[in-house]
């Protein structure tokens, strides 16, 4: 398959039937059939002339390969978000004036059923707590960590509980989450080592996602939270955090690394777009802070100041 066909095939993989039919309408081709048949019909025009004759088109009437690519590109750019439909939410589904609960529920409907607990188990059994917004269930022992644990005493479920992704949505109204290359993971205590907590993970970035984050309003962002933070809706990085992406060190906070975040303070999520590549990437976070933290990676789109202010007012 040539470069043109290969590039188009990658983009068409993220098209719904609606977008595929739009392409075929522009090409004056039949728009009936299953999704793969529609894709094959478009890709056939990017192969040899013989394929165009099989489609019932004369050589004079067949669109050029450049014309096909342009139509696909135009419709691809008009899509308000790029990426797998089960990982993204379109802007039309998240109006600026909508309250936070509706935003979160719309996002979770796109993500699908319960995303699960920080421990990674598919089935959540035992003592669980349910998120007020998205209804995801998580183990109480995994996410409800008392400041001073007592032996044999289980944590009590709070009156209102929000999972990490829902806390993230509320933490910064100037960003909207488009996808999650790395879902929340908890820092792991390294018994007997000098560094008490660390996470070493790989994450994948598709070609479509890589193309998306080249646009000025999109970025790849690393975020971190203190699980038992008294201020629920903010990012919070541990003391002496050392973050590396593909072997490149990334500064996480402007404050001194040994300084604790105050009750009125807020941390940001470092942007790592320039350090990421298409395909597999590696991220390592270590810290000597023994408190319970979790972190993840998201693809996010910046809102305008006016949009963020309206959402911030709704959420406050």
Residue 105 reports pLDDT greater than 60: no
How do strand 218-226 and strand 188-189 relate by DSSP bridges? unpaired
91-108: average pLDDT: 46
d(CA 107, CA 166): 9
d(CA 113, CA 218): 26
d(CA 124, CA 136): 10
**Are the beta carbons of 38 and 31 closer than 8 angstroms?**
yes
Per-residue DSSP letters for 208-256? HHHHHTTSTTEEEEEEEEETT-SS-SSB-PPTT-EEEETTEEE---SS-
How do strand 128-130 and strand 279-287 relate by DSSP bridges? unpaired
d(CA 131, CA 188): 23
Mean pLDDT rounded to a whole number for the chain? 78
| Best CA proximity match to 39, nearest among 68, 61, 3 | 68
The larger pLDDT score, comparing residue 230 to residue 63, is at 230
pTM score, two decimals?
Answer: 0.62
Instruction: Please give the sequence-ordered ranges of beta strands (E in DSSP) within the chain, or none if there are none.
Output: 128-130, 137-139, 175-186, 188-189, 197-205, 218-226, 242-245, 248-250, 279-287, 293-302
d(CA 304, CA 217): 10
d(CA 90, CA 80): 6
> 23 pLDDT band (50/70/90 cuts)?
confident
Owner of token pair 């669109």: 63
108-119: average pLDDT: 58
Residue 91 reports pLDDT greater than 50: no
112 Rama sector, left if φ>0, alpha if ψ -120 to 50, beta otherwise: left
Instruction: State the pLDDT at residue 124.
Output: 60
Q: What is the pLDDT of residues 220-257, one digit of tens each?
A: 999 999 999 999 999 999 999 999 999 999 999 888 88
Secondary structure letter of residue 70 according to DSSP: H
170-187: average pLDDT: 90
Residues 6+ apart with CB under 8 A from 306: none
The larger pLDDT score, comparing residue 146 to residue 77, is at 146
Sorted by where each starts, the structural domains of the chain and their CATH numbers stand as: 3-78 (1.10.720), 85-315 (2.60.120.780)
278-305: average pLDDT: 90
Q: What is the pLDDT of residues 123-157, one digit of tens each?
A: 666 788 899 888 888 888 889 888 776 676 777 88
d(CA 43, CA 69): 10
């Amino acid at each position: 398959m040539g470069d043109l066909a290969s590039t188009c095939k990658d983009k068409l993989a993220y098209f719904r039937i609606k977008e595929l039919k739009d392409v075929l309408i522009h090409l004056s081709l039949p728009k009936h059939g299953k999704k793969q048949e529609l894709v094959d019909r478009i890709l056939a025009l990017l192969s040899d002339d013989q394929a165009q004759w099989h489609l019932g088109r004369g050589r004079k009437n067949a669109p050029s390969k450049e014309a096909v690519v342009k139509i696909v590109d135009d419709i691809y750019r008009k899509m308000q978000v790029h990426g797998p439909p089960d990982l993204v939410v379109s802007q039309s589904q998240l109006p600026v004036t909508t309250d936070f609960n509706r935003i979160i529920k719309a996002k979770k409907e796109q993500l699908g059923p319960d995303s699960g607990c920080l421990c990674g188990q598919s089935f959540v059994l035992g003592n669980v707590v349910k998120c007020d917004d998205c209804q995801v269930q998580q183990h109480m022992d995994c996410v409800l960590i008392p400041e001073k644990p007592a032996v044999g005493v289980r944590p009590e479920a709070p009156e209102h509980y929000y999972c990490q992704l829902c806390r993230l949505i509320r933490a910064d109204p100037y960003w909207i989450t488009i996808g999650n290359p790395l879902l929340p993971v908890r820092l792991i205590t390294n018994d007997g080592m000098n560094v008490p907590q660390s996470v070493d993970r790989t994450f994948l970035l598709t070609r479509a996602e890589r193309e998306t984050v080249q646009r000025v309003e999109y970025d790849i962002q690393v975020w971190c939270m203190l699980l038992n933070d008294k201020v629920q809706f903010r990012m919070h990085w541990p003391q002496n955090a050392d973050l590396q992406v593909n072997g490149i060190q990334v500064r996480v906070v402007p404050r001194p690394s040994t300084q604790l975040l105050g009750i009125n303070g807020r941390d940001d999520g470092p942007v790592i777009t320039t350090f990421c590549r298409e395909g597999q990437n590696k991220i390592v976070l270590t810290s000597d802070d023994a408190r319970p933290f979790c972190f993840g990676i998201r693809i996010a789109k910046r809102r305008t100041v006016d949009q963020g202010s309206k959402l911030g007012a709704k959420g406050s």
